[in-house]
Amino acid sequence: MLELLKEFLDPFLLIGLFIVSLYFYFTATFNFWENLCVPFKKPTVLVGNFGPLLLFRKSQPEGVKEMYEWFKNERFFGVFRVRSPILILRDPDLVKSICVKDFVCFANRGIPTNNSQDPLSGHLFNLEGRKWKGLRSKLTPTFSSGKLKRMFYLLAECSEEFRKLINKACEGKTAVEVRELAAKFTIDVIGSCAFGIQINALTDEDSEFHRAAKKLSRPSYKTTLWRMLRTAMPKLYKFLSVQVIDPEVTMFFKNVVSQMIKQRESCDQRRHDFMDLLVELKNKGSLENEIGSISQTLNEEDVQAAKEIELDENSIAAQAFVFFAAGYETSSNTIAFCLHELALNEEIQEKTRRDINDSIMKRDGKLTYDAVQDMKYLDLVILETLRKYPPAPLLSRRCEYKYQIPGSKVELPAGMRVVIPIYGLHHDPDHYPDPETFNPDRFMDENKRTRHPYTYLPFGEGPRACIGIRFALLQIKIGIISFLRNHGVQVSNKTVHPIRFSRRSLVTTSEDGFWLNITSESENS
């Protein structure tokens, strides 16, 4: 009888020991911030302070804003993602220190990658150290204003096709999901400018690019969860060889880039698009016809790092992929958010339309690069859209060595993650009074001067700021111009306001779409 009891108890004892061990593993770090005398929110076992986000009960913007408001009188505070301690900043001066002044200590994002499973993950956004520095130095000239100006004719062509699609949508006299419309435009723009091919996503929803875009913008819950967890549990992420990019998407992009490289290298015709520039970098190591060579515009360390980087087909595919992945969804969402706000604010919409048409009329009715640069009120409208709806709700950096937080006695250990809550800063009434009101005048020069510059971070800041800012803004402007030149937008009975953010997406987007009525020029006059 006693032996039978022992056999019965042993499994329960093992299970008990396993549960106790797990509990101690997940809670062993929970005294970290208390030991450093840093204010922190009490975490929950298994999820830390990120339960609502990890369980998809709240969207990223909602979760970030809620955390930001936990300690309103503090410059920084601590939280836990699962069991990993994370520092969250509230002070714009500290944001400046992390992004610029002490960038050397916070140069990396600390995003683990499984390159053998995810060959497209070796792109500029994820790279670290000298690899990042060298590639950034090589790619920076491809986004110069001169290069964009030579490329502008491609965007103008996409704009004309987009206007035809808007005309067709207008004929239906029913509400239109403008994000889907804008997504077709951004896919065509990126396909034309980055890959040098006519995708025709505007008319062909069954194109391979369109299918790839849908897979990227609607990842599975498992993929989304791993993207949130990989920085908190990098060893497990590596051990399980997790693949966050769909294998079919990977194969598609590698094949497209390989074909385009062979095509460009076999003929002398130039389109002045990004693929031309990437192939030139691959074959020559630097770009010609720049105002000043790399050696003249970069310091000696950057020049040496750039020389160490060689672009091969896989590397070009990775850069082209991130150009597509980063530019497609964020730009189409920003266009949709902007149109949504203009539909709610007819006076601002009319002022924006006048600004657009006045600038175009000064160029004999032609949409030119210089005409777009003259649209100053449109600039304000887009800046305010990005303030209210930043594409990334947060950004993070990894501390590379011991770092004492300026103005405090707190010393962060190497490996510590620091999070900048962009959405929280953008909606802080101390920085932006009445933050839920859409007010482009916030970005007039006299108003900007009264505000700390590091309270506005839609593209990040410092050396690791988005390399494609100029192109992204140009693409967004062309999308808005295409809508407002001859059309208007109005709320419909399907318009959801206030917007409910998607809980599944890591970028800021709507759960319900952006349903608006599109009116013709005659209806607007």
pLDDT, tens only, 471-496: 999 999 999 999 999 999 999 999 99
Which residues participate in the annotated binding site? 466
- Tell me which range, 15-19, 158-162, 234-238, is most confidently predicted by mean pLDDT: 158-162
401 in any annotated domain: yes
- Is the pLDDT score of 292 beyond 50? no
- Residue 308: give the domain boundaries: 37-523
31 in any annotated domain: no
Which of 328, 317, 400, 391 minimizes the C-alpha distance to 123? Answer: 317
Q: Are 148 and 369 in contact (CB under 8 A)?
A: yes
**Sign of the alpha-carbon torsion through 164, 167, 171, 176:** positive
8 in any annotated domain: no
Number of domains in the chain: 1
Residue-wise pLDDT for 295-346, tens only, equals 444 566 655 555 556 677 778 888 888 888 777 889 999 999 999 999 999 9
| Burial (CB count within 10 angstroms: exposed 0-12, middle 13-18, buried 19+), residue 177 | middle
pLDDT at 136: 85
- Is the pLDDT score of 42 beyond 70? yes
Structure tokens at 516: 């608006």
Region 83-110: what's the mean pLDDT? 94
Region 150-164: what's the mean pLDDT? 90
DSSP 8-class letter at 100:
I
Which residues participate in the annotated binding site for heme? 466
pLDDT at 291: 41
Half-sphere exposure at residue 436, Cβ-oriented, CA atoms within 13 angstroms = 4
pLDDT band at residue 129, thresholds of 50, 70 and 90? confident
Domain with 509 in it: what CATH number?
A: 1.10.630.10
| Burial (CB count within 10 angstroms: exposed 0-12, middle 13-18, buried 19+), residue 493 | exposed
Summary mean pLDDT of the chain: 84
- Is the pLDDT score of 168 beyond 80? yes
Half-sphere exposure at residue 326, Cβ-oriented, CA atoms within 13 angstroms = 23
pTM of the predicted model as reported, rounded to 2 decimal places: 0.90
> Which of 34-38, 207-211, 459-463, 494-498 is least confident?
207-211
Residue-wise pLDDT for 385-418, tens only, equals 999 999 999 999 999 999 999 999 999 999 999 9
23 in any annotated domain: no
pLDDT at 2: 52
pLDDT at 357: 96
User: Measured between alpha carbons, how far is 177 from 523 in angstroms, rounded to an integer?
Assistant: 20
278 compared with 485, residue with greater pLDDT: 485
1 in any annotated domain: no
10 in any annotated domain: no
26 in any annotated domain: no
30 in any annotated domain: no
Q: Are 133 and 302 in contact (CB under 8 A)?
A: yes
pLDDT at 295: 41
Q: Phi first, then psi: give them for residue 524, nearest 5 degrees.
A: -80, -25
- Is the pLDDT score of 199 beyond 80? no
**Contacts (Cβ under 8 Å, ≥6 apart) of 178:** 335, 336, 339, 340, 483, 489, 514, 515, 516, 518
